[in-house]
């Protein structure tokens, strides 16, 4: 059935296929994160001007400037990830050299905005693949290549960091069992230890998370917009670990992607509609306040007897990952969704805009658990103004799922048209 489990013939064996695994791993090792001076042995073309500047070579080939991304991890235990994966995947190398420790992907965006996929797409269509199978082959190649680049970090941290995440079809966002099957399939075909299968935190997919974790598959739970749904996600992770039957849980890990900027975008609009001075005052404060409260919940849930029993089997905490970190309102500070959310065992995934701003003028300091009572005050003041946090979460989830589905559908339509044109031109 179209839109359920994608139709890729069989998992590709690790050594077969076009994956240049050895050169990529060698390149990644040359950029090894533990090295103080990074050798720029493979010319990755940085998309971020700040990363490019920081990677500028001195005569001896060393990176000239140590970025705040290294400090973020080394001083505060937060992992900076890059919220953008597209071809050529070796573009990631300067990012890794400058302190990036993982990557989140949005393949529909990557494929629709680049012609770097055209060559492989043409080969796949000539080989008789349909558009959807070709889509998955393109995606899987990027993910496998990126996994190789981050493998040194994964190995060095004993599986705690160095992940690359890839989403199941967004058409399955309301299909519990379809999501489980797609996650198992994707995990099998990618066939890399450091892949996160991305599953949305919709009501229908919360049970999928439990089942996928119970199958020993690491998961990036995405599209979390409310504290209530976040709690259900943590429970699904804990239930999954308990149900797994594995004696060693150390290789089943997860991140919970809490979206930030979109919360302000919606709540700001609601506050502007109310329009009173009390309502206008907290604009731009809701998202960070809610995120800080989410972190308090994280601390509570990953402690105590239930959690300690899992730790004895090697379980790792499901880290909070801040997503949607670029600022949408130009009136706000461009580090608004990074600076105040720094703390241990968290991930901040940043697109170029947020990454550049943070490297340029971000502040490395532990902020996630500072001013928590102020955050709680903002949260309840907004409730008093009539903001229903669960409803906000539901609306944002609905919009997020629709927009991911929409871009997936329109990409597939354009790949089908492109595929048909190629077949006609080649008389296939």
Ligand X SMILES: O=C(CO)[C@@H](O)[C@H](O)[C@H](O)[C@H](O)COP(=O)(O)O
Cα distances (Å, whole numbers) of residue 96 to 104, 216, 416? 13, 27, 35
Closer CB to ligand X, 40 or 217, in the complex: 217
Options 148, 198, 301, 317, the catalytic residue: 198
Q: In angstroms, rounded to a whole number, what is the distance separating the alpha carbons of residues 354 and 372?
A: 24
Catalytic status, residue 198: yes
CA dihedral 233, 237, 238, 242 (to 10 degrees): 150
Binding site for ligand X (CB under 6 A): 83, 104, 106, 165, 198, 220, 222, 257, 261-262, 323-324, 326, 349
By residue count, the chain amounts to 428
Q: In angstroms, rounded to a whole number, what is the distance separating the alpha carbons of residues 238 and 256?
A: 12
To ligand X, the closest distance from the beta carbon of 165 in angstroms equals 5
To ligand X, the closest distance from the beta carbon of 292 in angstroms equals 19
Closer CB to ligand X, 217 or 323, in the complex: 323
To ligand X, the closest distance from the beta carbon of 224 in angstroms equals 9
To ligand X, the closest distance from the beta carbon of 384 in angstroms equals 27
Closer CB to ligand X, 38 or 154, in the complex: 154
Closer CB to ligand X, 262 or 301, in the complex: 262
SS3 279: helix
To ligand X, the closest distance from the beta carbon of 72 in angstroms equals 17
> Please, what's the largest Cα pairwise distance for the chain?
68
Query: Is residue 271 within 8 Å of residue 283, measured between CB atoms?
Result: yes
Cα distances (Å, whole numbers) of residue 141 to 29, 40, 87, 243? 20, 24, 10, 32
CA 365 distance to own-chain centroid: 23
CB atoms within 10 A of CB 309: 12
- Of 295, 233, 231, nearest to 260 (Cα)? 295
Closer CB to ligand X, 350 or 382, in the complex: 350
List residues with catalytic annotation: 198
């Amino acid at each position: 059935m179209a839109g359920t489990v994608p139709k890729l013939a069989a998992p590709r064996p690790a050594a077969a296929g076009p994956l240049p695994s050895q050169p990529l791993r060698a390149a990644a090792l040359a950029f090894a994160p533990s090295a103080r001076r990074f050798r720029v042995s493979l010319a990755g073309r940085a998309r971020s001007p700040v990363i490019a500047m920081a990677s500028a070579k001195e005569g001896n080939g060393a990176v000239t400037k140590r970025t705040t991304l290294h400090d973020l991890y080394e001083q505060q235990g937060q992992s900076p990830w890059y919220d953008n994966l597209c071809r050529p995947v070796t573009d990631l190398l300067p990012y890794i050299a400058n302190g990036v420790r993982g990557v989140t992907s949005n393949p529909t965006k990557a494929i629709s905005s680049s012609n770097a996929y055209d060559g492989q797409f043409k080969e796949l269509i000539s080989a008789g693949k349909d558009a959807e199978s070709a889509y998955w082959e393109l995606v899987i190649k990027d993910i496998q290549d990126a996994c190789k680049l981050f493998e040194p970090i994964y190995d060095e941290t004993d599986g705690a960091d160095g992940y690359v995440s890839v989403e199941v079809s967004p058409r399955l966002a309301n299909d519990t069992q379809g999501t489980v099957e797609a996650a198992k399939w994707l995990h099998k075909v990618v066939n890399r230890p450091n892949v996160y299968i991305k599953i949305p935190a919709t009501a229908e997919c919360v049970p999928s998370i439990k089942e996928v974790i119970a199958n020993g598959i690491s998961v990036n739970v995405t599209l979390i917009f409310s504290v209530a749904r976040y709690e259900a996600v943590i429970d699904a992770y804990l239930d999954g670990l308990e149900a797994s039957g594995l004696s060693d849980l150390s290789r089943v890990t997860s991140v919970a992607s809490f979206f930030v900027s979109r919360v302000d975008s919606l709540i700001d609009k609601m506050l502007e509609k109310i329009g009173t001075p009390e309502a206008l005052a907290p604009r731009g404060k809701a998202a960070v306040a809610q995120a800080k409260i989410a972190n308090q919940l994280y601390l509570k849930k990953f402690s105590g007897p239930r959690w300690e029993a899992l730790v004895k089997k090697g379980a790792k905490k499901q880290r909070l990952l801040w997503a949607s970190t670029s600022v949408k309102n130009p009136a706000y500070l461009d580090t608004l969704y990074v600076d105040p959310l720094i703390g241990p065992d968290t991930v901040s995934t940043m697109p170029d805009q947020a990454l550049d701003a943070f490297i340029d003028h971000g502040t490395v300091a532990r902020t996630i658990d500072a001013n928590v009572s102020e955050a709680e005050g903002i949260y309840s003041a907004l409730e008093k103004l009539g903001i229903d946090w669960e409803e906000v979460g539901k609306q944002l989830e609905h919009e997020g799922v629709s927009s991911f589905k929409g871009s997936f559908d329109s990409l597939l339509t354009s790949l089908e048209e492109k595929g048909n044109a190629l077949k006609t031109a080649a008389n296939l």
